[in-house]
Amino acid sequence: MLIHPWDAADDPALGVPTSYYASVQLACDVRIVDDPAAKAAILNRQLAHFEPDGKRTPVSSVDAPDRRLLPGIRGIELTVTEVRAKFKYGGNKTAEDRQRIGARLSERDGIHDAEAVAHLRP
């Protein structure tokens, strides 16, 4: 929960804590992957994403240093079956409160503050 001490107009100690958030919950089917070639394919996709420089030897290669670790790895494949999302951006606040809070978020300029400010606007 993100609580701002400046959420109350005058005295933060008298304010009611509130949250400004976006939340997503996924329901999914799970498939366990134990086949070495399939696990290597999963690892290669992940490594290509997180280490895009391409210098790593593919895990499926015979001379790959990571190949000997495959027996100790279990892969999982998730198939999303349902998505539930909730967003709360002070819709119960007066326009003046939302404007004040938006101004403070803009001043702070923290990660995702600009997106939260965009949601606070009517």
What are the CA-CA distances from residue 62 to residues 21, 37, 40, 100 (Å)?
A: 47, 11, 11, 61
In the chain, what percentage of residues exceed pLDDT 70? 74
Residues 36-93: pLDDT tens digits? 888 888 888 888 888 877 666 667 676 777 777 888 889 999 999 999 998 877 667 7
pTM to 2 decimals? 0.49
Range name among 2-11, 23-32, 42-51, 54-63 with the lowest pLDDT average: 2-11
Exposure letters 57-70 (e unless 16+ CB within 10 A, then b)? ebbbeeebebbeeb
The span from the CA of 16 to the CA of 39, in Å, is 49
Listed residue (5, 25, 7) closest to 93, CA to CA: 7
Collapsed DSSP state (helix, strand, coil) of residue 81:
strand
The span from the CA of 78 to the CA of 32, in Å, is 9
Pair of tokens at residue 107: 């001043």
